[in-house]
Amino acid sequence: MATHCPYCALQCGMNVAGGAAGAGGAGGTGTVEITPRTDIPANSGGLCQKGWTAGELLAGGARLTTPLLHGEPVGWDEALDFVADRIRALQAEHGPDGVAVFGGGGLTNEKAYLLGKFARVVLRTSQIDYNGRFCMSSAAAASNRAFGMDRGLPFPITDLAGAGAVLLAGGNMAETMPPFVRHLAAMRERGGRLVVADPRRTATARLADLHLQPAPGTDLALALGLLHLAITEGHVDGAYVAERTNGFEAVATSVAAWWPERVERVTGVPVAQLRLAVEILGTVDRAVILTGRGAEQHAKGTDTVTAFINLALALGLPGRPGSGYGCVTGQGNGQGGREHGQKADQLPGYRRIDDPAAREHVAEVWGIDPAEIPGPGRSAYELLDALGTPAGPRALLLFGSNPVISAPRAGHVADRLRSLDLLVVSDLVLSETAALADVVLPTAQWAEEEGTMTNLEGRVLLRRRALDPPPGVRTDLEIIQGLAVRLGGPADGPRGAAGFPADPRAVFDELRRASAGGIADYSGITYERVAAETGVFWPCPGTGHPGTPRPFLDRFATPDGRARFVPVEHRPPGEDVDADYPLYLTTGRVLAHYQSGAQTRRIAALNAVVSGTFVEIHPDLAERLGVSAGQRLRVVSRRGETEGVARVNPAIRSDTVFMPFHWAGANLLTNPALDPVSRMPEFKLCAVRLERVG
Ligand code: SF4
């Protein structure tokens, strides 16, 4: 059965066969064979080791197959009745906002849509956000303010092959999504050059023609310095700036003081490398600037991405074929997950929840009064931080997320979850967060249910059902419907079963109507088209519309059609190193694991590659500490401490420590300082000290 990978935003096409019978067979038994599809351009025949081994998720024995109530197996009616009764009681005592909802960037478009609707229409709570806030929200905020639209790559991924140069800031696709590297390799085979900015000499940085190695937290200064040089070296595309943008003069003035020697002092990147990077980008006809989490997950992430967009605009890149700016979204449905209403400040169609016209349109689709839609609620970390406090929610319904591992200051977040009167977790395995829950609801997973995903290109794709879920398991849509029936009034009304279908095609048809006229307009996209055309790009405002692979060719999505330069200024991180905490900690991924590891840590073949956390340090630092590879290290920040095995690697700066975040530990240390625009926490940088254990 042709479908897509359960993991990252590349959404590689794959075929699922075997198990207990292919289509219609029973999951949970037998070997499932995965092979790559060649018809999906994102991977065109490639998969990474996570994708190749994804069949183990379907055949594995770690699945939950019965609801748990306070750790004891119970039937579905007992579990859902308990949840509904507790929600009713808690909302009677604390009001609608006494109950919160937390979603995930891996949920299908249908789930994200129905979850947002359930929160606003049935629970009538404003307290809903999702883990995508932890992923690419700073890039989304920066794209929205520059272009009036946030679509990860506003061009097909295959355009990269035609670029003369790519600057990648803070991304490591050789480990996070290896088939992406094929597109960069195709560019280089045609003579294009790759520049990577990353404090670590990652697997991707090793592929680059030029590796800029800025100090952690200085990407913004780096981007300001590159723009300064682009201006002084005569690389600004004056005709493009005049015709397609506003605000260049103010930005040019703001970078005047970022002369190369000052940038070298702040970032540590030599002046000669800065000049070479600008020459590479400024002397080719087509170039692309990409950002990843390394540049984005900071308390100044929105401004950092804005600075790279300013550079792209000055060079005349966005909106030209084979050129542009793009964000390399991480989670499987990181793009679609932020478009359909599970975000605190948004309604379906990527509409703002405080826009009266948006409220009116969506309320009409939902069959309710616009005034009934609650206003914007807390962002993800602020929501988790408020749980169980006198002014915060007393209950949380959580779908497709594992914040005990993935949230910043994770020890504190776990304490907040423990303080709740009701925690309900829907998951396919007993994750660390599910282990704290009063009620655990076992769900179907990727190849056991149908649904659409929107990949990092803005291409809507179809995940097909290849196997039946194990007996006892329900889909998230069935769970939401079950709760709506218990809490929402008459089953045939907008708040009951009729308003909450469990059939993904029925949900998608409603999503199309709700998104019509919005920025992310899916009204012309159907399951049949997605299957026949191997994906359709939004916006697609009619069934006769071809979709929009390159939305900025003629105009940007701003009121006057012009892109906006926005002046930004470098500033220090949320916390800096000092005598007590003299080293930077930065966190990231390894090839064999995905996100919080709830899925990949349960796959033997992946654990055989990397089975636990580690602390990567430079040989000079190892010598200073008297530590050799394999010894245990304690890593201490102002929020907590953890341990890991030392890995000594000259690829990292000697003032920096790296830890992967797929295991408990790294996020006990991280700093929840928030970006003022996107509310993204500063995952990529905090101050730590190292101690030898024993
Ligand atoms: Fe492709 Fe990402 Fe899946 Fe790897 S994890 S196979 S890169 S979708």
CA 666 – ligand 1 centroid, Å: 23
Confidence band, pLDDT 50/70/90 cuts, at residue 30: low
Range 270-293 average pLDDT: 97
Q: Which CATH architecture has domain 137-327?
A: 3-Layer(aba) Sandwich (3.40)
- By most ligand atoms within 8 Å of CB, the mutation choice from 3, 10, 157 for ligand 1 is 10
Outline where 233-334 has alpha helix (H).
238-244, 248-254, 260-267, 271-282, 293-296, 301-314
337-350 pLDDT per residue, tens: 999 999 999 999 99
Round to whole Å and give the CA distance between 85 and 88: 5
- The pair of structure tokens assigned to 536 is 């359709």
- By most ligand atoms within 8 Å of CB, the mutation choice from 3, 8, 180 for ligand 1 is 8
The pLDDT of residue 292 is above 50: yes
Give residue 133's pLDDT: 93
Q: Which of 591, 625, 674, 667 is nearest to 50 (CA)?
A: 591
The CATH number of domain 583-692, selected from 2.40.40.20, 3.40.1550.20, 3.30.750.24, 3.40.50.300: 2.40.40.20
Confidence band, pLDDT 50/70/90 cuts, at residue 25: very low
- The pair of structure tokens assigned to 310 is 């300013």
Q: How far is CA 595 from CA 332, 459, 582, in A?
A: 10, 22, 28
35-77 pLDDT per residue, tens: 999 999 999 999 999 999 999 888 877 899 999 999 999 999 9
Q: How long, in residues, is the chain?
A: 694
Helix-then-strand count for the chain, H and E = 24, 32
Yes or no: is domain 68-134+333-504 CATH 3.40.190.10?
Answer: no
Report the predicted TM-score, pTM, of the whole model to 2 decimal places. 0.96
Closest ligand 1 atom to residue 180 Cα is 7
Confidence band, pLDDT 50/70/90 cuts, at residue 27: very low
Q: Which of 263, 260, 251 is nearest to 313 (CA)?
A: 251
Range 150-158 average pLDDT: 96
612-650 pLDDT per residue, tens: 999 999 999 999 999 999 999 999 999 999 999 999 999
- By most ligand atoms within 8 Å of CB, the mutation choice from 3, 5, 14, 455 for ligand 1 is 5
Determine what percent of the chain is predicted with pLDDT higher than 70.
98
Who contacts 157 (Cβ-Cβ below 8 Å, separation ≥6)?
A: 41, 42, 180, 183, 456, 457
CA 183 – ligand 1 centroid, Å: 14
CB 96 within 8 A of CB 123: yes
CA 70 – ligand 1 centroid, Å: 35
Q: What one-letter code names the amino acid at 488?
A: G
Residue nearest to atom 1 of ligand 1 (CA): 12
Q: What one-letter code names the amino acid at 262?
A: R
CA 53 – ligand 1 centroid, Å: 10
Q: How many degrees, rounded to 5, is the angle at CA 683 between CA 679 and CA 686?
A: 115
Tokens 């290849």 — which residue?
466
Least confident of 15-29, 411-425, 431-445, 446-460: 15-29
CA 489 – ligand 1 centroid, Å: 42
Determine what percent of the chain is predicted with pLDDT higher than 90.
94
Residue ranges per structural domain of the chain? 2-59, 68-134+333-504, 137-327, 583-692
Range 125-138 average pLDDT: 94
